[in-house]
Amino acid sequence: MQLLGEMESTCTSALGLYGFITAAFGAAVAIHFQKSEARFNLNASTSVSLLLLFFGESLFYFYLPHYLGIVLFGLCCFPVYRSIRSNAILCPEGKAVLITGCDTGFGLVMAKRLHSLGFHVFAMVLYEKGDGAQELKLVCSDRLTVIQMDITNYAMIQEVQKKVAKQLGNKGLFALVNNAGIIEYFGDAEIIPIDAYKRCIEVNFLGTVEVTKRFLPLIRRAKGRIVNISSPSGEVPFGRMSAYGASKAALEFFSDILRQEMKAWGVQIAIIQPGATKTGQVGNVNFWEQQHKKLKDNLSPELLQDYGEEYIDEIRQKILTVGPNFRQHVGPVVETIITALLAQNPKPRYTTEFVIDVLKMLYYFLPSSVADTILNEVFLAPRFPPKGAREGYASQ
């Protein structure tokens, strides 16, 4: 009887300690959200973490020595608390965000979506009288300001910065979304004209850097964040995307370094790598027909002979066939951008499709010879090698 009483006393003490730790965990979460402007976000990740924690509590209590179970349960509470904090979301009301490239695609949809959430949106468009700008102006709201800005025109960027700063007053800019970007050509690195490399670097990298530098003082004032729209091709070398991929790789590297440097200022940087999505330029058949014609017209006779018209025409056909089959809805990408904007602690890098993560793993962990073969065949791969490679010669 005495032994039974001791066992009951030990179980009661252990149960009390489990209850105390659970209460302390709940109090810590409540205190954090009371002191922070962030809101509790009961998403899938948070729900799973909480379910596993409390399921684990039962297992620890019934199947482990009491004090060992209590210690393990206490240790498990810490990563779940961190997960809840990292998944917390900020309130968008009253926050100002500037988005580049709002003429079409992600930028256009994003500007309207962020406005609907309560953000004050500064939507940058390349063409003030274009369809995208007119569609945004129809919103007729003092929280949505449409401004023309060419991100390669540094004088224009400076003027826009002054205009935005004047509207914001002392409030600062909560977020900058560097969305503007271009794709000039698809094709083998040797046949893509040097002007295409220059243009991609000018828009996708240097233009983004200039916009970022101009608006950073306003972002630092608000302890805000920057979201850069990059591409999987900026991290993984896909065949026939050298010009575009090189510009996005430069953007990725710049973003990673900037993230390190801005921590002291309380500014957070996130990179978004969208999957294959049919935006305005990708789905524009006339644009790719014109680009293909310019590519062939400017190719030297030697390269045209070595690669063969059949090979170059097949790349064009692949673009016209594959492009329209890309994902039609930009919604998943826009929602990922919103997550990066509103997460209390955004991730350094977001991908929008599982296949992107798979390709990254293949690139980083497979031998180069295997990874190169896979990545060269993933996108726009012609059925046969260039004419000269098949016939075993190269131009002299």
CA proximity to 360, closest of 265, 351, 68: 351
d(CA 95, CA 130): 27
Phi and psi angles of residue 177, each rounded to the nearest 5 degrees, phi first: -110, 105
**Position of tokens 């149960």?**
15
The shares of helix, strand and coil residues in the chain, as percent rounded to the nearest 5, are 60, 10, 30
- The one catalytic residue in 18, 185, 197, 244 is 244
Indicate if 244 belongs to the active site: yes
Phi and psi angles of residue 270, each rounded to the nearest 5 degrees, phi first: -130, 145
Torsion region of 26: left, alpha or beta (phi above 0 gives left; psi -120 to 50 gives alpha): alpha
Strand-pair partners of 98: 122, 176
Positive/negative CA dihedral, 85, 168, 131, 134: positive
CA proximity to 299, closest of 371, 232, 383, 395: 395
DSSP H/E element including 148: strand 144-148
> What is the SS3 assignment for 245?
helix
Neighbours of 377 (CB within 10 A): 11
Q: Known catalytic residues? A: 244
